[in-house]
Each structure stands twice: as structure tokens, then as C-alpha cells.
């Protein structure tokens, strides 16, 4: 056997480590998103900043793991994305244990997506309320966030909020 020969057992071990790390990070992200739900309902800017940093840390780490998994698929010329991963699993996961762990990670990721969407809806609602309050202070109707060309609406910045 040459030193450059890649065995299924080697990739199975690598993928097993990636899936273990991914599971841990997804569970951490799920907890962060659950805490974020309470934070975004409050009015504590520091708490919002801290929870956002924790969320970004988890996502950045998950992206690094995805890049590592993608590199393993490319190394064997199996392609990118789900198809490449399925081919990799077919090659090195004969007992289906890695596939089961992958499916469990997908379940956690789906829950994270749902939590993130709920938190985003709360943030969008609060942002709309702030716009309405600013419009009330100005004595006008709420201005859109973006103009016709999709650029930020600058009419808000040019209006005076009050005079002394």
C-alpha cells in the first residue's frame, strides 16, 4: 500500500469526528437560539450583542466543519453538497452509523432553522414598531426601509426629530 492510499476506514474516522463536532455545535446553537428568543423580546442592547456573538461563533464553527467535509468529498472527486456526502457515506459507511448520525444532525439543524425564523420574525416586528414610533414623533407616516431601487431609504436621516 502506498502512502497516498486513502482507505474507507480513514475517511470514516474523519467523518465521525466531524459529525461529533457538528452535533455538539448544533446543540449549542439550538440552546443559543432558545436564549436569543428571550433576549430579542427584551430591551437590553448588551444582551442582544452578546447573544449575537455567541450565535455567530457557532455558525462560523459549523461552516468550518462543512468546509472540512466538503474537502474530504473533493479529495476523492465525489463532488460537493449533499450528493457528494451521500457518495462519501456510501464509500466509507457500510454499517450506516455515520448516516444515522448525519440524519440526527439534520434534525437538530431543522430545529435551529425554526428557532432562527421565529427570532427573526420577532426582530422584524420590533423594528416595525420602532419605525411607527419614529413616524409618530415626526408627525408623518412611517417611511419604507428601502427605496424603489432597493437602496436604503435616506428620507429618514434628513428629517429633524425635534427642535430646541
Question: Residue ranges of the domains in the chain?
Answer: 8-116
**CA 125, CA 147: separation in Å to the nearest integer?**
20
Give the pLDDT of residue 23. 98
Q: Nearest to residue 27, comparing CAs of 49, 48, 56, 58?
A: 58
Are 54 and 30 in contact by the 8 Å Cβ rule? The answer is no
Per residue in 10-47, pLDDT tens?
A: 999 999 999 999 999 999 999 999 999 999 999 898 99
Per residue in 99-148, pLDDT tens?
A: 999 999 999 999 999 999 999 999 888 888 888 888 888 887 655 566 66
Of 123 and 55, the structure prediction assigns the larger pLDDT to: 55
Are 51 and 37 in contact by the 8 Å Cβ rule? The answer is no
Give the pLDDT of residue 128. 85
Are 63 and 72 in contact by the 8 Å Cβ rule? The answer is no
153 φψ region: left (φ > 0), alpha (ψ -120 to 50), beta (else) = beta
Mean pLDDT of 95-99: 96
Amino acid at each position: 500500500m502506498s502512502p497516498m492510499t486513502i482507505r474507507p476506514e480513514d475517511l470514516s474516522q474523519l467523518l465521525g469526528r466531524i459529525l461529533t463536532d457538528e452535533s455538539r455545535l448544533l446543540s449549542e446553537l439550538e440552546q443559543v437560539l432558545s436564549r436569543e428568543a428571550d433576549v430579542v423580546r427584551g430591551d437590553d442592547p448588551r444582551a442582544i450583542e452578546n447573544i449575537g456573538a455567541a450565535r455567530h461563533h457557532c455558525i462560523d464553527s459549523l461552516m468550518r466543519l462543512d468546509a472540512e467535509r466538503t474537502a474530504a468529498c473533493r479529495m476523492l472527486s465525489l463532488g460537493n453538497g449533499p450528493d457528494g456526502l451521500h457518495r462519501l457515506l456510501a464509500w466509507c459507511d457500510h454499517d450506516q452509523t455515520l448516516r444515522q448520525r448525519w440524519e440526527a444532525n439534520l434534525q437538530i439543524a431543522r430545529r435551529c432553522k425554526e428557532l432562527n425564523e421565529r427570532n427573526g420574525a420577532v426582530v422584524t416586528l420590533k423594528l416595525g414598531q420602532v419605525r411607527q414610533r419614529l413616524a409618530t414623533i415626526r408627525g408623518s407616516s412611517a417611511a419604507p426601509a428601502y427605496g424603489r431601487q432597493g437602496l436604503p431609504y435616506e428620507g429618514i436621516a434628513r428629517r429633524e426629530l425635534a427642535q430646541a
